[in-house]
Amino acid sequence: VIRFLTSPLADRQGIQLKGVAVSHLDKPREVSVPRLTDEPLELIGDPDVDLIVELIGGESPARDLIQAALSCGKSVITANKAVISRHMRQLFDLAREYRVDLGYEASVAGAIPVIRVLQGFQGEHITRMTGILNGTCNYILSRMEEGMDFQSALSLAQEKGFAESEHELDTGGFDARDKLAIVSSLLYNSHVQPSEIPCQGITELNPVDLDFAAKHGLEEGERGYSVKSLATAKMSDRGLELSVHPALIRRDHPLASVRDETNGIYIEGELCGPQLLLGRGAGRGPTTSAVVSDILRLAKNTRRGVIDELPTLGQRIDYLDPMSVKTAGYVRMNLRHTPGSIAEASRILGNHGFNIEDSIQRRRFKTVIEGCTVIPDIVTVEALPLGTLSRGLQALQESDRILGDPFFVRFEE
């Protein structure tokens, strides 16, 4: 970003870098800047400064600094999904109050201009958005599809610099959840809090799941399935359904071709039909691209004396009760390798109204849990409400023939 701000292109647009606030003044740096300080409020308070670019990450102190900047009448550009997802309504109000801009294109899906694109679809009724919004998860799942286990794939992602050493924000689905909150807030002009979105990570997926996915449907002439971590918003007469979860998608689904650290956003609108956006979701270049695009727009706005119209996010929306969402999928559980285990599992599932389609026991993935030999059993079931599914899994867990946590993975239509 600094390289851009000190480039001839920025100069031609009348953009001038006034200073940079950092935590550690004496850290060695690749670029030289006109005014390095560890007092961000110095820059925010400077009457010569029009725009503040916030690239800290995490809620604190980023949120306070963004608020301070807006309240000083400075426009702000941020890549901070934690702050935007939790406080967008209040920050948009503040920006409106002080007649300044707030650019946050870099907070979702890196270089993919998803904020710009969605804002242009205001005349559309978007019935569905499904995104692959976390590059780390997608990279790990791409490696697992090639046969790696979760831990090795995670280590490789960490080596390559995609995953943080504290990887749970990514692999637990929380990073994608923040982004989904931002995108669905824009889609339906209502502030969706990340905490309202059910969230399931990819940490429990193992080679059994990937192996099952690759082979599923082949006998029916399909091309097999991919496992993806999806962030989904669906709007129907019954309300808005939001969720982050791993799911099996058909290999011919447009999102199945989103591989490695790429992000993808699939949208369905009543007029526009299906749309797909693919691109790099993270990393130095893509994030810079999104930040620079915001800087150019806001600088131009400042010069022309106009501001963007930020959404009010004041619409009331009805959420669909997550437990009432019906979904097909499969249950994967570790059965003790003793006679009667399959019958016991089938009995429990039947009692809970699960209509079993296929049941596949995979001896190849035999393992030992709590000193007992177990074999993973995969049972595909017809669509059931998540509440019913959850009670069924609970009952399975209570059986002493089933060890470890039974796990449910959805099929995405």
Q: Which residues bind a copy of itself (CB under 8 A)?
A: 4, 9, 105, 110-113, 116-117, 120-124, 254, 257, 269-280, 285-286, 288-290, 292-293, 295-297, 300, 304, 306, 309
CA–CA separation, 354 and 357 (whole Å): 9
Q: DSSP secondary structure string, 348-393?
A: HHHHTT--EEEEEE-GGG-EEETTEEEEEEEEEEEEEEHHHHHHHH
Nearer to a copy of itself, 105 or 377 (CB): 105
Q: In angstroms, give the least distance from the CB of 288 to a copy of itself.
A: 5
Placement of tokens 């090795």 in the chain: 152
| DSSP summary character for residue 30 | S
Please, which residue, 286 or 329, has the CB nearer to a copy of itself? 286
Nearer to a copy of itself, 102 or 402 (CB): 102
Tell me the CA end-to-end span of the chain in Å, nearest whole number. Answer: 40
Long-range residue pairs from 281-286, CB within 8 A, at least 24 positions apart, any chain = 281/109, 281/110, 281/111, 281/112, 281/133, 281/134, 281/135, 282/110, 282/135, 282/136, 282/162, 283/110, 283/135, 285/111, 286/110, 286/111
What is the C-alpha to C-alpha distance for residues 395 and 345, in angstroms, rounded to an integer?
9
CB nearer to a copy of itself: pick between 19 and 279: 279
User: Residues 179, 234, 300, 366: which is the catalytic one?
Assistant: 179
For residue 16, give both structure tokens: 């001038």
Q: How many residues does the chain have?
A: 413
Shortest reach from residue 147's CB to a copy of itself, in Å: 18
Cβ 319 to a copy of itself shortest distance, Å:
23
Q: How many CA atoms lie within 13 A of 69 on its CB side?
A: 27
Q: How far is the CB of 123 from a copy of itself (least distance, A)?
A: 4
* Least distance from a copy of itself to the Cβ atom of residue 124, Å: 6
Q: Report the alpha-carbon distance of residue 193 to residue 86 in Å, rounded.
A: 6
Smallest gap from residue 41 Cβ to a copy of itself (A) = 28
- List, in order, residues 6 or more apart from 136 with CB less than 8 Å away: 157, 162, 163, 167, 170, 171, 175, 261, 282
Catalytic residue status for 179: yes
207 or 254, CB closer to a copy of itself?
Answer: 254
The type of residue at 56 is: I
- Of the two residues 78 and 243, which places its CB atom closer to a copy of itself in the complex? 78
- Residue 6 token pair: 């000190």
Residues classed as catalytic: 179
